[in-house]
């Protein structure tokens, strides 16, 4: 009898498994004109919540039949994982104002995203607002499955007080070329003002390369993405130069190989950091300055590129009232709301001619002006399939070779490029 019960259980479980594999009709392109109430999620960052609440109140006051119900992204390991689970469960909201570009190809493959180009004015609205930089967010089929919303162009933050203590010029720090940067870092280290000159997270999460290798690679190459035309670009002289620079920092103990619990820059554990303007509110107790990321031979700040650290808006196929969602999306990214966003958060709307559009803000907040200018020269993560796996592959090799020095840089670049070429081609 025991055997029979087990057999019955196995058959029932198998049947359940097989029925779970069925799929129905698509819904991504349905209800594009439908109007009614919608739900949106926004980030749980305090400043972003403040902006989100006023935006929702402003919309709801004028649209009694198309109300927005808003909430913070549910707590989870990361926004991307929560959104991915919501797509699978079929309960994703209409809009998420915190969609990582790296996750978009995966969400698109899941059938979870609406192609915004399918709206009559979808393409034109996006490209008119963001200009040429919008092209980085276009998917391989030519559609926009994400709305380019805001960026945090990363730069080198430095602690003026620590620089002063180390005998460095805090107003004109020498951080433009690799040689200057290394010399400055050595001076900081030798003076003992901080345990490390710089301390980007040395951990192995796929996204950590966005805050060490990638900004400098973007600067060194004048705006080249990690993958272009379906192939890795970094197995080159520029890629090796950037990797060698970081390896020198680790080998000489100028950058830390250990994970720091907290914010190394805010805690004066490191004298420099690579981060975007979102962190300025975190550094309110630090007398900081910011300069563009270095290049091998130094680049004019007006021509220096960096990583965007952007977050965009995704419209999800589970949304029933996509017409309202599109209207809300345009309202939330209007010139007026972008201005309020800038005021509330200090993060840069992905809008062309940003500094000219909000001259009063930038003249009143001089510290942000360089970020506004830098926002026009940012590189995004490549919008390719297997995006996250590509970054994880890169990070694993980088960790082994550059951070821990257990493999030649050239071998790492070759090996990672081979694997990433294969992943980018869909293998």
Partner 1 sequence: MTTTVAGPAGRTGKNDPARPGPPAREQGRGRRRRGILGENPIGVLLSAPYIAFIALVFAYPIVFAVWMSFHDYFFAAPGAQVDRPFVGFENYVAVLSDPKVWQSFYNVGVFLVINVPLTVVISILLATALNRVVHAKTFFRVSYYVPYVTASVAVVAVWMFLFAKNGLINQILGPLAPNPSWLVNSALAMPTIAFFVTWKGMGFYILLYLAALQNIPKELYESVSMDGGGRVRQFFSVTVPGVRPATLLVVLLSTITGANLFTEPYLLTGGGGPNGASATPVLLIYQKGIQQGNPDVAAAIGVMLIIMVLALAAIQRKFVGGEES
Interface residues with partner 1 (CB under 8 A) are: 1, 4-5, 8-10, 12-14, 16-18, 20-21, 23-28, 80-81, 84, 87-90, 92, 106, 109-112, 195, 201-206, 257-259, 261, 317-318, 386, 388-389, 392, 396, 399-400, 403-404, 406
Beta bridge partners of 113: 316
Least gap, CB of 20 to partner 1 (angstroms):
7
Q: What are residue 198's DSSP bridge partners?
A: 255, 272
* Beta carbons within 8 Å of 205's beta carbon, 6+ residues apart: 395
State which residue, 27 or 165, has the beta carbon closest to partner 1.
Answer: 27
Q: Angle at CA 254, nearest 5°, toward 211 and 397?
A: 50
Instruction: Output the DSSP codes for 17-79.
Output: HHHTT------TTTTTT--S-EEEEE---HHHHHHHHHHHHHHHHH-TTS-EEEEEPPPSS-H
Given the complex with partner 1, which of 21 and 75 has the nearer CB atom? 21
Tokens of 244: 């060698």
Within 8 A by CB and 6+ apart from 383, the residues are 101, 104, 105, 136, 137, 138, 139, 140
Nearer to partner 1, 16 or 61 (CB): 16
* Identity of the residue, 4 or 64, whose beta carbon is nearer to partner 1 in the bound complex: 4
- Compute the least distance from the CB of residue 175 to partner 1, in Å: 26
By the 8 A CB rule, do 243 and 404 touch? no
Please identify, using beta-carbon distances, which residue of 3 and 65 lies nearer to partner 1: 3
CB of 231 to partner 1, least distance (A): 20
Q: Which of 333, 306, 323, 324 is nearest to 154 (CA)?
A: 306
- Least separation in angstroms between residue 185's CB and partner 1 is 18
Distance CA 59, CA 1 (A): 65
Q: Which is nearer to partner 1, 378 or 383 (CB)?
A: 383
Residue 419 C-beta: closest distance to partner 1, Å: 10
Given the complex with partner 1, which of 89 and 366 has the nearer CB atom?
Answer: 89
CB of 6 to partner 1, least distance (A): 9
Q: How many helices (H) and strands (E) does the chain have?
A: 16, 14
Q: Which pair of structure tokens corresponds to residue 301?
A: 């700040």
**CB-wise, 16 or 366, nearer to partner 1?**
16
Token couple for 363: 């003249």
CB of 112 to partner 1, least distance (A): 5
Could you tell me the smallest distance in angstroms from the CB atom of residue 69 to partner 1? 21
| Residues 6 or more apart whose Cβ sits within 8 Å of residue 102 | 80, 206, 207, 381, 387, 388, 391
């Amino acid at each position: 009898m025991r055997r029979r019960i087990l057999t019955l259980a196995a058959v029932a479980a198998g049947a359940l498994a097989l029925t779970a594999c069925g799929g129905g009709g698509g819904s991504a392109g349905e209800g594009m004109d439908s109007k009614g109430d919608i739900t949106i999620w926004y980030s749980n960052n305090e400043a972003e919540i403040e902006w989100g609440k006023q935006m929702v109140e402003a919309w709801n006051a004028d649209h009694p039949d198309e109300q927005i119900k808003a909430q913070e992204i549910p707590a989870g390991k990361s926004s991307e994982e929560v959104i991915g689970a919501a797509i699978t469960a079929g309960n994703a909201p209409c809009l998420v104002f915190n969609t990582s570009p790296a996750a978009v190809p995966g969400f698109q493959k899941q059938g979870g995203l609406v192609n915004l180009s399918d709206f009559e004015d979808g393409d034109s609205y996006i490209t008119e607002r963001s200009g040429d930089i919008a092209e980085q967010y276009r998917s391989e089929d030519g559609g926009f499955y994400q709305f380019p919303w805001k960026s945090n162009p990363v730069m080198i933050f430095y602690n003026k007080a620590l620089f002063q203590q180390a005998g460095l010029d805090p107003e004109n720090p020498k951080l433009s070329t690799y040689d200057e940067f290394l010399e400055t870092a050595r001076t900081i280290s030798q003076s003992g003002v901080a345990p490390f000159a710089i301390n980007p997270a040395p951990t192995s999460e796929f996204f950590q390369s966005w805050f060490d290798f990638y900004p400098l690679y973007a600067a060194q190459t004048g705006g080249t993405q990690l993958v272009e035309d379906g192939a890795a670009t970094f197995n080159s002289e520029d890629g090796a130069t950037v990797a060698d620079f970081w390896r020198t920092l680790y080998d000489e103990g100028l950058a830390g190989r250990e994970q720091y619990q907290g914010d190394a820059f805010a805690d004066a554990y490191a004298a420099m950091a690579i981060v975007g303007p979102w962190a300025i509110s975190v550094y309110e107790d630090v007398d900081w300055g910011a300069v563009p990321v270095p290049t091998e031979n130094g680049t004019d700040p007006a021509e220096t590129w960096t990583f965007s650290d952007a977050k965009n808006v995704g419209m999800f196929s589970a949304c029933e009232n996509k017409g309202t969602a599109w209207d809300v999306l345009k309202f939330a990214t209007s010139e007026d709301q972008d201005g309020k966003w800038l005021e509330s958060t200090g993060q840069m709307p992905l809008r062309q001619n940003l500094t000219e559009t909000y001259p009063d803000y930038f003249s009143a907040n001089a510290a942000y002006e360089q970020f506004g200018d830098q926002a026009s020269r940012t590189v995004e993560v490549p919008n390719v399939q297997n995006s996250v796996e590509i970054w994880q592959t890169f990070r694993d090799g980088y960790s082994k070779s550059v951070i821990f020095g257990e493999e030649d840089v050239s071998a790492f670049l070759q090996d990672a490029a081979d694997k990433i070429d294969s992943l980018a081609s869909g293998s």
